[in-house]
Amino acid sequence: MLIVDDDALVRAGLSMILAGVEDIRVLGEVADGADVAAAVDRYRPDVVLMDIRMARVDGLTATELLRSHRDPPEVIVLTTFDSDDHVLRALRAGASGFLLKHTPPPEIARAIRLVAAGEPMLSPTVLRRVMSQVAGGGAGEPRDRAVESLRRLSDGELAVATLVAQGKTNREIGRQLFMSVATVKAYVSRVLTKLELTNRVQVALLVRDAELD
Q: In 3-state terms, what secondary structure has residue 54?
A: coil
pLDDT in tens, 2-61: 999 999 999 999 999 998 898 999 999 999 999 999 999 999 999 999 998 899 999 989
Instruction: Supply the pLDDT for residue 100.
Output: 83
Domains of the chain: 2-133 (3.40.50.2300), 138-209 (1.10.10.10)
Question: Partners of 2 in the beta sheet?
Answer: 28, 48
Quick one: pLDDT at residue 139?
52
210 or 177, which is more confident: 177
Q: Residue 211 region, left (φ>0) first, then alpha (ψ -120 to 50), else beta?
A: left
pLDDT of 138 above 70: no
Region at 178 (left for phi over 0; alpha for psi -120 to 50; beta for the rest): left
- Per the CB < 8 A criterion, the answer to whether 65 and 83 are in contact is no
- Say how far apart CA 48 and CA 178 lie, in whole Å: 34
Q: How confident is the model at residue 212 (pLDDT cuts 50, 70, 90)?
A: low
pTM metric for this prediction:
0.71
Q: Which of 21-25, 40-44, 64-68, 158-162 has the lowest mean pLDDT?
A: 64-68
Q: What are the strands, taking DSSP E only, across the chain?
A: 2-4, 28-30, 47-50, 74-79, 97-100, 121-122
Mean pLDDT value across the chain: 85
Percent pLDDT > 90 in the chain is 44
- What span, in angstroms and rounded, lies between the C-alpha atoms of 159 and 157? 5
Q: What is the mean pLDDT of residues 134-154?
A: 75
- Give the Cα separation of 128 and 110 in Å (integer): 19
Tell me 139's DSSP state: T
Query: SS3 string of 141-201?
Result: HHHHHHHHHHCCCCHHHHHHHHHHHCCCCHHHHHHHHCCCHHHHHHHHHHHHHHHCCCCHH
Mean pLDDT for 128-155 is 72
Summarize pLDDT for 76-99 with one digit per residue, the tens.
988 776 666 777 787 777 888 888
